[in-house]
Amino acid sequence: MKKLVFTALAVVAFSGVAMAGTQEVKVLTEDCQTKAMNYIDNVYDPNGTKSPEQNYAAYQGYLQACDDAKTAKITAN
């Protein structure tokens, strides 16, 4: 019985110590697909005058550039 009580007390004590120094970290990432679609619709071809192939190529180029430049922004609360 003493071993059970000691083990339970030790688990509670060590879990409290382990949780005392932790912080929640939020990782904010940008959605490149949405940005690429908005770019095609609003900047590259707002009037719909380009061919689907041209729009797709521009979309792929924007998406690749966004993915290459994307870095995770880490904030701690």
- pTM score of the predicted model: 0.52
Q: What are the residues whose beta carbons fall under 8 Å from the beta carbon of 29, sequence distance 6 or more?
A: 70, 72, 73
Is the Cβ–Cβ distance between 24 and 42 less than 8 Å? Answer: no
Kindly tell me the burial class for residue 45, based on how many C-beta atoms sit within 10 Å of its own C-beta (0-12, 13-18, 19 or more): middle
Q: What is the pLDDT of residues 5-38, one digit of tens each?
A: 667 666 666 666 556 566 666 666 668 899 999 9
Q: What is the pLDDT of residues 54-69, one digit of tens each?
A: 999 999 999 989 888 8
Q: What is the pLDDT of residues 34-52, one digit of tens each?
A: 999 999 999 999 999 999 9
Query: Rounded to whole angstroms, how far apart are CA atoms 32 and 60?
Result: 11
Supply the pLDDT for residue 58. 95
